[in-house]
Amino acid sequence: MQDQPFERPDRWIWRVGHGREIDLSRRGLLMGVLNVTPDSFSDGGRFADVTAALAEAEAMADAGAAIIDVGGESTRPGADPVDAATEQARVLPVIKAVADHLAGGRQVLISVDSYRVETARLAVAAGAHIINDISGLQGETGMAELARETGAGLVVMHTGRGREKLPDVIEDQMVFLGRSLAIAEEAGLDARQIVLDPGFGFAKDSGENFSLMARFDTLHALGRPFLVGTSRKRFLGAATGREAGDRDVATAATTALLRVAGARIFRVHDVAKSRDALSVAEAMCDRLAQETGSDV
């Protein structure tokens, strides 16, 4: 990897596909969740056709989303798996439509939420700038090589699914994501293409998720910017007693808290609510920088 990947640079530049890049050094960004699936846990079936999906992408962009994350397979616990052909039939027409209608003039970036290399390859060809890999490069082989070849940005997520976790939630993050970064380095991937994701809700109980929030700042030792996806997750329901569709205020609270803890990208269903929460957090971070001379 280039530019000392395990040390935070003065500016966090995220290099993504099609010649684009994002400066993450000062401001947080919102990623809108666009599930084109019939069975996602809070919005399954609502955006299963291209027209509805494009309208939702446009609404999220209007609300302040800088990135639209398109997914064709539900990752909720117990969801039925789909094959690659089904996933591709769902996501590729939507990615192309968003690329044609939004990604140019509005400068909206497109992410594909997939752990499959071939789906990711086709998605980048259709206009996606970012690959959101929930397997953390530890699923199908070749994802890091694909990102190197195409120049796509890569979200590398931590997961506890399908393996034995270490007892300490932070230690498990360091070991798993450290292994992911080693895979990326071996593939010759530029570190500036990588953003990390601690994988809230992926084989983590409520206590582990809140511990991860409370100790989030320790993750910066890994030396890359972080994306977080807490939106409507079960642990927020445990804290508030609310069902999935009524957890957007709780989600916005985590957006503010995690921005102050140093996260940079926030993957959410309700962009407008988290935009306001992020604006308040940014104002506080700006004031902190003025008074202490240190960035958050």
Question: What's the order of all strands across the beta sheet hosting 109-113?
Answer: 194-197, 153-157, 130-133, 109-113, 67-71, 29-35, 265-268, 227-228
pLDDT category at 74 given cuts 50, 70, 90 is confident
| pLDDT tens-digit series, residues 254-296 | 999 999 999 999 999 999 999 999 999 999 999 988 888 777 7
Angle at 269 between CA 113 and CA 231, to 5 degrees: 85
Distance of CA 194 to the CA centre of its chain: 11
What was the pLDDT predicted at 153? 98
Mean pLDDT over residues 196-223, rounded?
A: 97
Catalytic residue of the set 15, 165, 204, 233: 233
Task: Out of 101-115, 173-187, 201-215, pick the least confident.
Answer: 101-115
Decide: helix, strand or coil at residue 71. Answer: strand
Catalytic residue of the set 116, 204, 232, 267: 267
Q: Where are the domains of the chain?
A: 13-289
What was the pLDDT predicted at 106? 64
User: Is residue 233 annotated as part of the catalytic site, yes or no?
Assistant: yes
Distance between CA atoms of 93 and 43, rounded to whole angstroms? 19
Q: What is the DSSP string of 224-243?
A: S-BEE--TT-HHHHHHH---
251 pLDDT exceeds 60? Answer: yes
The b-or-e profile of 165-190 (16+ CB within 10 A means b, else e) is: beeebbebbbebbeebbebbbebebb
Distance between CA atoms of 106 and 129, rounded to whole angstroms? 14
Distance between CA atoms of 220 and 226, rounded to whole angstroms? 8
| pLDDT tens-digit series, residues 143-201 | 999 999 999 999 999 999 989 999 999 999 999 999 999 999 999 999 999 999 999 99
| pLDDT tens-digit series, residues 4-15 | 333 444 468 999
41 pLDDT exceeds 70? Answer: no
217 pLDDT exceeds 60? Answer: yes
The type of residue at 167 is P
- Please check whether residue 34 is in contact with residue 70, taking contact to mean a CB–CB distance below 8 angstroms: yes
User: Is residue 273 annotated as part of the catalytic site, yes or no?
Assistant: no
Q: Where are the alpha helices (DSSP H) in the chain?
A: 50-63, 84-101, 117-126, 143-150, 169-186, 206-214, 234-240, 248-260, 271-292
φ/ψ of 87, rounded to 5, equals -60, -45
What was the pLDDT predicted at 3? 36
- Residue tagged 């591709």 (tokens): 88
Decide: helix, strand or coil at residue 260. Answer: helix
Distance between CA atoms of 200 and 188, rounded to whole angstroms? 28
Distance between CA atoms of 125 and 129, rounded to whole angstroms? 9
Q: Which CATH superfamily is domain 13-289 in?
A: Dihydropteroate synthase-like (3.20.20.20)
Bigger pLDDT: 240 vs 52: 240
Distance between CA atoms of 36 and 44, rounded to whole angstroms? 8
What was the pLDDT predicted at 39? 55
pLDDT category at 105 given cuts 50, 70, 90 is low
- Please check whether residue 131 is in contact with residue 114, taking contact to mean a CB–CB distance below 8 angstroms: yes
